[in-house]
Structure 1
């Protein structure tokens, strides 16, 4: 009897732990949504029940923020930055795996070592570089430093190890050039990998804070992350308005994740079709 009860107890404990972990993961977002319906004073007191101030908070947020302009700035940075990063970094990852060279592993090892350099050590050189190039207060200054992402290069190189070599050989026999193999064969086959990388890079670009804060110098260029931060750092912040801004800043990332969710899991598992 005891032996029959053990699997049930074990299953109950596992599901209980998973349910607790899921609740702890979802609770911040749930509390943010509930906070958007309450007044700032209620949020400060720790109220966790929905209120009736949602419309008031939305109106106050709309009055303080040029939402279409801010969303356009964030969307431009995130979409263009993601597209360029995926193209450049996937090409680099493909080249590192496909082309043999005696310097290949040394160069790749040097790139991986650069991951240990904190961004704080790179801010001043990057700032000086962008300033001398006349790129301050521009989208280019935000996007350019992240186009050749070492992590994404590493990710694509590891994923390329599962790319069928016979497809490349067959394409070469058919007369395709290397860029045609990459564009017409490699990219379609590696769709799950691109989907997973898209979510990672899009989230990083959308949520970027420190570098845009340094580079962007006028309000008409600010992204949603900087705007929400400025609302929260006011002398007397209205936390209801801050919560509305946080929801607006979170929704695009959530939408992108759910659209690419299945491909994201396949990409992390190394699926190649």
Structure 2
């Protein structure tokens, strides 16, 4: 066997091992959702017959449809508002030039180094004084102005063809019309990639909702999973089933927008 074939075999072996390590937690989670808690503790790795019982137990403990409705509402509204604000800001930072533009942008990037733990107390004080505690608005507002997504859109706007903008201006379009009717359709792969990132962050958000959402009626799916694991005798079958259900929306969105996500991350413009 040639050296080239050995190298290719080594590469495929490494990739196969990496794929197995990546997929195995999802496989174990899906299998565990069909088993009893005692079977999961003993390490059973084959599908069981307890899926229906686990689902019935989950429904008896949690208002599942309300919880998913809360999570979807927060994630969808957060995604729409974040994309709207961040794409406008990223477009403006790249298109409109001024003396202080770069200094302001550098200051915004500097804020990325501040951990959220340092902002929780003053942010909670602001939310409390605005009487927004225990509302979805309190969860959504702090996520709208995302500096990372702003930075992402500004970098993507560098690839936006200037000829299209100039042609639109010659045709008499105003700047907001250029943004809506030229920029948005051209940068759809960028929006798709940003949609996946923002939606997943909003869907999986745990710490801030834990602080501001104080009643069971407003809990999100991440808070429910945390509450199930904190029980005195946790039912691991129910916990894994809930985790599987919580993972499905993000998987669906990723697979639907997968091609556009890759194009957007590579900076492709169509």
Cα distance in 2 between the residues matched to 1:115 and 1:45: 43
1:226 paired to 2:223 = yes
Give the C-alpha shift of residue 37 in structure 1.
1.1
CA positional deviation for 1:256: 0.4
Q: Residue deviations 1:32-66, cap 9 Å, x none?
A: 00111111111112222222211111111111111
Alignment partner of 1:193 out of 182, 190, 202: 190
Quote the Cα distance in structure 2 between the aligned partners of 1:229 and 1:149: 26
The total of aligned residue pairs comes to 270
Q: Does 1:157 align with 2:161?
A: no
Instruction: Indicate the larger mover: 51-60 or 71-80.
Output: 51-60
Give the equivalent residue in structure 2 for 1:138: 135
Structure 1 counterpart SS, 2:159: coil
Deviation, 1:228, is: 1.0
Q: Which residue of 2 aligns with 1:31?
A: 28
RMSD between superposed Cα atoms in Å: 0.8
Match of 1:12 in 2: 9
Which stretches in structure 2 are left out of the alignment for 5+ residues?
none
SS in 1 for 2:114: coil
Hey, what's the Cα distance between the residues in 1 that align with 2:174 and 2:128?
39
Unaligned runs of 5+ in 1: none
Quote the residue 2:44 is aligned against. 47
Aligned equivalents of 2:202, 2:79: Cα separation in 1 = 7
Instruction: Kindly report structure 1 stretches of 4+ aligned residues shifted beyond 2 Å.
Output: none
- Which residue in the other structure is 1:98 paired with? 95
Give the whole-Å Cα distance in 2 for the aligned partners of 1:177 and 1:132. Answer: 40
Would you say 1:166 and 2:174 are equivalent positions?
Answer: no
3-state secondary structure, aligned to 1:237: coil
* CA deviations over 1:192-219 (Å, ceiling 9, x no partner): 0000000000000000000000010110
